[in-house]
Amino acid sequence: MAETNKDVLICRCQEVTLAMIEEAIAEGAFSVDGIKKRTRAGMGLCQGKSCERLVEKIIAEKTGQAPADILPATSRPPVRPIKMGTIEGERNA
Amino acid sequence: MPKKDADVIVIGGGIIGTSIAYQLSKRGKKALIIEREDLCTGTSGSCDAYITPHTKKPGFHLGLCLESMKLYKELEEELGDDLEYWQKGGFQPCEDELSFQLVSENAKDLMAGGLEVKMMNIDEFRSYEPNMSPNLVGALHCPSACQINPFKVVMSYARNLKKLGSQIMTNTEVTDLLWEDGKVVGVQTDKGEFYADYVVNATGCWGAQIARMAGLEAPIEPRRGQIIVTEPTSTVIKTTMQSGMYLVIKFHPEKITDERTKRLGSGFCIEQTGDGTILIGFTREFMGYDKSTTLEGIEYIISEGCKYLPGLRDMHVIRTFSGFRPFVADGLPLIGPVDGIPGFIMAAGHEGDGVALSPITGKLVAEMIVEGQPSYNIDAFSPNRFVKQA
Task: Provide CB contacts within 8 A for B365, sequence distance 6+.
Answer: B20, B23, B24, B200, B335, B336, B345, B347, B374
User: Does the pLDDT value for residue A1 go beyond 60?
Assistant: no
**Residue B231: closest C-alpha in chain A:** A45
Q: C-alpha angle with apex B67: B222 to B93, nearest 5 degrees?
A: 65
The pLDDT tens digits for B158-167 are: 999 999 999 9
Q: Which of A27, A47, A84 sits opposite B305 (nearest CB)?
A: A84
Mean pLDDT computed over B326-334: 93
Quick one: CA dihedral B122, B52, B252, B105, positive or negative? negative
Contact (Cβ atoms closer than 8 angstroms) between residue B32 and residue B8 = yes
Question: What average pLDDT score do residues B308-336 get?
Answer: 95
Average pLDDT (B169-196) is 98
**B214-257 residue pLDDT tens:** 999 999 999 999 999 999 999 999 999 999 988 888 778 888 88
* Partner-chain contact B302 A77, CB within 8 Å: no
Distance separating alpha carbons of residues B176 and B188, to the nearest angstrom: 5
Residue A22 has pLDDT above 80, yes or no: yes
pLDDT of residue A18 exceeding 80: yes
- Per-residue DSSP letter, B380: G
Local confidence band at B390 (pLDDT 50, 70, 90 cut-offs): low
Q: What is the mean pLDDT of chain B?
A: 95
DSSP string, B108-167: HHHHHTT---EEEEHHHHHHH-TTS-TTS-EEEEETT-EE--HHHHHHHHHHHHHHTT-E
Asked if residue B338 lies in contact with residue B173, where contact means CB atoms within 8 angstroms, the answer is no
pLDDT in tens, B337-389: 999 999 999 999 999 899 999 999 999 999 999 999 999 999 999 999 999 86
Type of residue at B112 = A
DSSP class of residue A72?
P
Residue in A14, A74, A81 nearest the CB of B317:
A81
Mutate to test the interface with A, among B316, B320, B321 (most CBs of A within 10 A): B316
Which comes out higher in pLDDT, residue B259 or B19?
Answer: B19
**A39 in contact with B at a CB cutoff of 8 Å?**
no
Q: Is residue A3 part of a domain?
A: no
Residue A91 has pLDDT above 80, yes or no: no
Note the pLDDT of residue B389.
65
| CA quadruple B179, B181, B184, B185: dihedral, nearest 10 | -80
Q: Closest Cα to residue B30, out of B5, B6, B3?
A: B6
By Cβ distance, the residue of A27, A74, A81 closest to B316 is: A81
Residue B300: which H helix or E strand, with range?
helix B295-308
- Interface list for B 65-124 with A (CB within 8 A): none
Query: Does A81 map to a domain?
Result: yes
Contacts of B248 (CB under 8 A, 6+ apart): B98, B99, B102, B255, B256, B267
Task: State the pLDDT at residue B142.
Answer: 98
Hey, which residues does B348 pair with through a beta bridge?
A: B334
Range of the domain at A60: 9-92
Query: Is residue A58 assigned to a domain?
Result: yes
Residues from chain A contacting residue B168 (CB–CB below 8 Å): 28
Task: Indicate the domain borders of chain B.
Answer: 8-45+151-219+330-386, 90-143+221-328
Asked if the Cβ–Cβ distance from B232 to A44 is below 8 Å, we say: yes
* B151 to A37: CB separation less than 8 angstroms, yes or no: yes
Q: For chain A, what is the domain count?
A: 1
Query: Which is nearest to B32 in space by CA: B3, B7, B1?
Result: B7
Domain B8-45+151-219+330-386 CATH class label: alpha beta
Q: What is the ipTM of this complex?
A: 0.92
Q: Confirm or reject CATH 2.40.30.10 for domain B90-143+221-328, answering yes or no.
A: no
B293 three-state secondary structure: coil
Residue B303 is nearest to which of A28, A29, A88, comparing CB atoms? A88
> How many CB atoms are located within 10 Å of the residue B1 CB?
13
CB B220 within 8 Å of CB B328: yes
In a domain, residue A2? The reply is no
With CA atoms as reference, report the closest residue to B252 among B270, B267, B268, B269. B267
Q: Please give the order of strands across the beta sheet that includes B138-142.
A: A82-83, B316-328, B220-230, B278-281, B269-272, B240-242, B90-94, B138-142, B118-121
A75 in B contact zone (CB under 8 Å): no
Q: Is residue A87 part of a domain?
A: yes
Predicted pLDDT at B263 = 84
**Residue type (1 letter), B349:** G
Judging contacts by C-beta atoms under 8 Å, the chain A residues touching residue B232 are 44-45
Across the range B93-116, mean pLDDT stands at 95
B286 torsion bin: left (phi>0), alpha (psi -120 to 50), beta (else)? beta
Please provide the distance, in angstroms rounded to a whole number, between the alpha carbons at the two ends of chain B.
Answer: 29
**pLDDT at residue A92, as a whole number:** 56
How far apart CA A14 and CA A41 sit, in angstroms, is: 6
A32: closest chain B residue by CA:
B38
- The SS3 assignment for B67 reads helix
Chain B interface includes A37 (CB < 8 A): yes
What band does B259 get if pLDDT is binned at 50, 70 and 90? confident
Query: Is residue A33 in some structural domain?
Result: yes
Range with the poorest average pLDDT among A44-48, A87-91, B9-13, B155-159? A87-91
Quick: pLDDT tens for B61-77. 899 999 999 999 999 99
The rounded distance, in Å, linking the Cα atoms of B325 and B388 is 25
Count of H-run helices and E-run strands, chain B: 10, 19
Q: For B316, name the nearest residue in chain A, comparing CA atoms only.
A: A83
